[in-house]
Structure 1
């Protein structure tokens, strides 16, 4: 009876379920507009990546994301618990790519949701943030490519008019167009892949576990003790952590499986940005044959795009052999047109 009474006090006076819901919305990125606003603000900080990041910088970035989304209507107590931090292992002077979200519960809630439980939330949140940021970067690259393609078409049309109808085709422009087309196709593939992975984690893993947690903690009697609530909550975040980061039995989660793909995608983004950089464009304009300046950059784009496809084939092969959860369905959504499995 005492446990049930204490549980009621934690829910009504200290807003226990409200804080757990806030953790799901923000740390697990189940609030889409806040996630997008945070990506936009963090993207604007890239130019300061070499500087030491101070506490007021982190606070300003988070406040800007909150003000730019519906998170501004969240209760002050929950927003006060949300923070943007630099993990201790990141070290001094690291860039904005290392920042992470945390949620700081105060007593007595910190006793009900202990430190080791919050560490699981934090580990899951860091990986989800990596996925969000890599997808946002790919969308930025794709948008730049589309803008560049339209500009390229206008340049070609203008050149044709100046050269006359009988002029031979410019092979340099053809090489530029071919390089842009390959990088655009690869970028679209990467966006589709990461969108499907995030959709699976959000709908099948996080929301599925949340529904089970609510069912276990509702109860027909209306009364629930702390012990039962703790067991249900531990099972809830534990099931998500096992899928994302791997279980205690040595199982490997998405974090390990996608590590190489994330690295390859980051290299692809860098290669495409260098391909379309002002310095590269100026060098190609100055060179007698633009194909000479393109060779190195296109080779890097091609190599990373090819490596990405090979790595996706490998992970799809592994996921198709498992019966855990709905991973086989994820394989179908990623490879819906058999672009990977149908080619070898």
Structure 2
């Protein structure tokens, strides 16, 4: 537009009146309403651009919404007219014209845009055809003037508009304010004071400021924070209305700000929480927020930036924020491996976007785990102050307990992409390294370390869970596990002779060395029959050395013989040596790792087998004594009934003990030993040997009836052992009584034969009869005891 045309602004009021008369030719009241609204709109602000909708599509959408609420025919009519107007080159600034007509149409409630559409049609088809230059000049003048020029026009044209006319016009315009605002904004949050005046829609430039603030967690002029502190709502005190499209766009954009606030609060609440994995998760969220802030920085309000463009730019971040907030919700409480498991669950989602977000987070949280895993597998070290690693290191003083107690698997911390078998293999690999260094004092090159070092140098944390990389990673771990386990077994078998120690335990603590055990039993019997507090350890040690020197035990390895020793268990009043005696086999160093925890079991097995062996020995002595008594006391016929009972009981006990011993030594010990040898030869790691050895001991415990399920049966077996010992004591008492009676009888007989009864007095006969009577009474009492004890047993 030429400057000469712009500067000639004295005819603007005249053009406005002409336009209003043209739009409402048949209604003077409507003309005055439209004129008042037009002048009020032109003069209300010092910056008229704030009241002009600068986006033509937004103006068209607003008109569409207004028309669609009344009649679809009006919408079709408007579309045809707008299409014709768009093709016309007469109107240069269609946005300003449409905005102006849209504002005027909001002034009345009855038929605002129907007449607008009709008159716009006439304006386009007739007036523009008849006087194109005049209309073009009028419209362009309206679009280019500012509020100061408008006020100047009114001041210069007081003669054309009297004060009375203007006041009446404005009064009529104000009387329609409620109707206009109701049509432009209908929402329960608008206060009545706002509805009492004319409400003009908020422009996008105004909303963009608030939108940018809300996206950063800051409330603005129109958007205020909810009481929850996360979301936003429109300020109920604002007097400017929003269109439905603006509302829809704001809701979708502000949703991104809500997600931003949630993620930022999560980071603030957990930034001081201990744990490398948790901090890695927080760092990932902060990186996402930083990228988000970079995008926000370019969303500065300008003529090219719109709400739709903002929504489009933020679409990717909104999607990522939605899933990050969902992941953060699931990671609020877990830590360490449990947190990784919570994140890994989202990797199974079907959406590629979710998989991408999850993979990025998972790689970040797995990186600390990857570092801890590399240190454990390469050096056997754990640096886990916050207990996040799935392998826990405990404080253990004894080296023999290192393998059993120092390192365990935290099942709750094992990530879901790792099986329990793999976790145990990783545990065993690190334990093997520590076992070789700390227990075996092996300073050689660790097997598989170079390959593992290369693997950690060429891969990243995603090798733990990415299918295309995890296969190679886990294959390498399994190879390292096998190589380190083989190294440990090789040292135990060849350097520390673990198999020879197993055989020594079987021969001496499980009574497999028969000649040694029998000779030791004979030598120990006199000492062990004494009260426990009257026995001295050095005496028994000397007896042990004597038994070794005269049996095949003397050919044993020197290290084995040094480990064999005598032990006394705690005793109480009334205990004899048999109750507290035990053989022990001292283990230390690497072999102590296997045998140290099982020594109490060996002690209990030795006790059970030792009692059976003692009972067998007692019965053998009883049988020898019975044969001697049968020859010696042939003439003492009073012994026959009692000795008959003893013979029967002894025979039954010998049969029972022989069967029991056969079962213990062959059915139990030999079969279990054969199974142990098979497992020993198949073992791939130290844990296999330990498990096989424990199974061996458990099998023997069940066989000799000392397990928890056989306690009652074993108590009966102990009763039989005690019965045999009591039977021996009764037989010994009978033997002593019979010996005394036999000597007295032979002395009495010799005296009568030598003196031909001349020296036999009544007193001697009475004493002999009394002695014989007491002997008979003793035999009867003993016979009754046998019957009673037999019935009880």
TM-score, with length taken from structure 1: 0.76
Matched, 1:257 2:716: yes
Alignment of 1:30-179 (within 5 A): 30-45=512-527, 48-49=530-531, 52-88=534-570, 90-91=571-572, 94-98=575-579, 99-115=581-597, 117-153=598-634, 156=635, 173-179=636-642
Q: Which runs of 5+ in 2 are unaligned?
A: 1-482, 746-767
The aligned counterpart of 1:25 is 507
From the superposition, tell whether residues 302 and 113 of structure 1 become closer, same or farther in structure 2 (CA, over 3 Å). same
For residues 78 and 271 of structure 1, the distance between their equivalents in structure 2, rounded to whole angstroms, comes to: 41
Matched, 1:303 2:788: no
The aligned counterpart of 1:282 is 740
Q: Is the 8 A contact 1:42 1:96 kept in 2?
A: no
Q: How many residues align?
A: 286
The aligned counterpart of 1:270 is 729
Give the C-alpha shift of residue 6 in structure 1: 0.9
SS of aligned partner of 1:208: helix
For residues 92 and 59 of structure 1, the distance between their equivalents in structure 2, rounded to whole angstroms, comes to: 23
- 1:66-92 CA distances to partner (integer Å, 9 max, x unpaired)? 12211111111111111121112x248
SS of aligned partner of 2:589: coil
- 1:207-251 CA distances to partner (integer Å, 9 max, x unpaired)? 1111111112212xxx63101111111000111112324334x44
Q: Point out the more displaced range, 18-27 or 37-46.
A: 37-46
Structure having the higher Rg: 2
From the superposition, tell whether residues 92 and 79 of structure 1 become closer, same or farther in structure 2 (CA, over 3 Å). farther
From the superposition, tell whether residues 254 and 3 of structure 1 become closer, same or farther in structure 2 (CA, over 3 Å). farther
For residues 181 and 247 of structure 1, the distance between their equivalents in structure 2, rounded to whole angstroms, comes to: 38
Matched, 1:236 2:718: no
Greater RCO, 1 or 2 (C-alpha within 8 Å, sep 6+)? 1
The aligned counterpart of 2:649 is 186
For residues 256 and 206 of structure 1, the distance between their equivalents in structure 2, rounded to whole angstroms, comes to: 21
Give the C-alpha shift of residue 257 in structure 1: 3.1
From the superposition, tell whether residues 80 and 283 of structure 1 become closer, same or farther in structure 2 (CA, over 3 Å). same
TM-score, with length taken from structure 2: 0.34
- 1:117-157 CA distances to partner (integer Å, 9 max, x unpaired)? 1111110101111111122122112111111211223xx3x
Q: Is the 8 A contact 1:275 1:294 kept in 2?
A: no
Find runs of 4+ consecutive structure 1 residues off by over 6 angstroms: none
Q: Is the 8 A contact 1:268 1:305 kept in 2?
A: no
Matched, 1:207 2:682: no
SS of aligned partner of 1:252: helix
From the superposition, tell whether residues 35 and 56 of structure 1 become closer, same or farther in structure 2 (CA, over 3 Å). same
SS of aligned partner of 2:583: strand
Q: Is the 8 A contact 1:267 1:304 kept in 2?
A: no
Q: Is the 8 A contact 1:123 1:245 kept in 2?
A: no
Q: Is the 8 A contact 1:34 1:71 kept in 2?
A: yes
For residues 12 and 47 of structure 1, the distance between their equivalents in structure 2, rounded to whole angstroms, comes to: 43
From the superposition, tell whether residues 233 and 188 of structure 1 become closer, same or farther in structure 2 (CA, over 3 Å). same
CA RMSD of aligned residues (A): 2.5
Give the C-alpha shift of residue 17 in structure 1: 0.9
